[in-house]
Amino acid sequence: YLANQGSHIINQYIEEANEVPADSSENEKDNTRLISAVLTTLESNNFNLKLFKNPVTNRLESILITFDENVKQLIELVRDGGKLSSVVISVFVVTDSMYTTANPFNMPTEIFVQYMFNRLTIQYYTDVLTDPDSTNEEKAEAQAEIDAAEIENQNLRSVYGVLVDSYDYDTLIQFLPNPLGMEEREFVAYMLNKKIWIIYNEGGDVPEEQYQKAIEDNTRLREKYRIKKDLYHYDQLKVYLPNPLGMTTQDFYDYYEAKKQSLDDYEIINNPDSTEEEIEDALERIAEREQPFRNRYYISQDEDMTYDEMTQFIEENKIDLSDRLLFKIEVSLNYFKGKLETVDSKMII
């Protein structure tokens, strides 16, 4: 049903928005590409899921599904008298042209990642080349790296019909979810391993075997994504993490729920009438809920976020209103004598 209705409304939306006759062959091609891409994306298993609860009732209120940073599906649950009365499904797309041009050069993602790595290589070794403290040997190596990267990128531009690259690095990198081109789960793991490496080398409490495993895991990830060298510093990459704690989206929300459950225990701790035993029990419950997340991600006390800070982050990142709404469907649930009788659906937009 969603596929059929989605196809209909997307065709209608594009026709009205662009004021192009429906029988236009070029418009029909664009419609077909867009429809096919959207519906295929909605069937994909490659997505991030965010759950939002009503802070008063503690019941699930909406679900935000992000597919490959391109398509967002917002599912809103509407309740009446404690019962689910309707479900509103909205589908957003980031840009009209994203399905045909994922980047300015129309390169496949994995090729564009390699192109951007070469751009970084040139930038990195140019700094080495111009550094007065660099040795002649280091400068020779830097020049060789620059030449190899420039040749490879020139070949890539030739293959994909790019006459000139007039973009700066910071502009082009925005076309990737992160500079390494990794999916969220693997990028988070890669960054966590880099963090473990830093903590270990600063004398932090990281077991030797964990340190070695972090090195090995990141080597495998670089091989998988065809990343030749680890040229990025941790601070360069951390801004691309899905949240300030460096967690996967799911773990971030699980940690948020754990902090929410701890609110009652904090009231016990801050209550002057609480006994010492009650406070100790509350502290133990908080630690049991929250500490596993901090341990897993090596989150220090200074790095941690409060419940209010996490709430603010979640609200600010719920949905990007600049995204283009393609269609909205409402599914109504009708009850008779307390039992679900019929289900109706209609296109809202």
pLDDT tens digits, 51-82: 887 767 888 888 888 876 567 788 888 888 77
The pLDDT of residue 319: 43
The pLDDT of residue 68: 61
Which parts of the chain sit beneath pLDDT 50? 1-31, 95-101, 319-322
Q: Domain residues of the chain, as ranges?
A: 2-94+320-347, 104-175, 249-316
**CA atoms of 31 and 13, how far apart (whole Å):** 10
Tens digits of per-residue pLDDT, 39-55?
Answer: 667 776 778 888 887 76
**CA atoms of 335 and 83, how far apart (whole Å):** 9
The pLDDT of residue 323: 54
Sign for the CA dihedral angle at 137, 142, 148, 154 comes to negative
The pLDDT of residue 36: 59
Helix axes 249-261, 263-270, angle to 10 degrees: 40
**CA atoms of 263 and 255, how far apart (whole Å):** 13
The pLDDT of residue 46: 74
Cα 111 to chain centroid, rounded: 20
The pLDDT of residue 325: 63
How crowded is residue 78: how many other Cβ atoms within 10 Å of its Cβ?
15
**CA atoms of 172 and 175, how far apart (whole Å):** 6
The pLDDT of residue 48: 81
Q: Is the pTM of this model over 0.75?
A: no
Helices (H), the chain: 2-18, 25-42, 109-130, 136-159, 169-172, 184-201, 208-224, 234-237, 249-261, 263-270, 276-297, 307-316
- 26 Cβ contact list (under 8 Å, min separation 6): none
User: Are the C-beta atoms of 305 and 311 separated by less than 8 Å?
Assistant: no
**CA atoms of 221 and 37, how far apart (whole Å):** 28
- 153 Cβ contact list (under 8 Å, min separation 6): 115, 118, 119, 122, 165
User: Are the C-beta atoms of 115 and 153 separated by less than 8 Å?
Assistant: yes
109: left (phi over 0), alpha (psi -120 to 50) or beta: alpha
Give the DSSP per-residue string, 52-93.
Answer: EE-TTT--EEEEEEEETTTEEEEEEEEEETTEEEEEEEEEEE
Strand 339-347 versus strand 71-80 pairing type = unpaired
Nearest residue to 217 via CA among 198, 199, 190, 187: 190
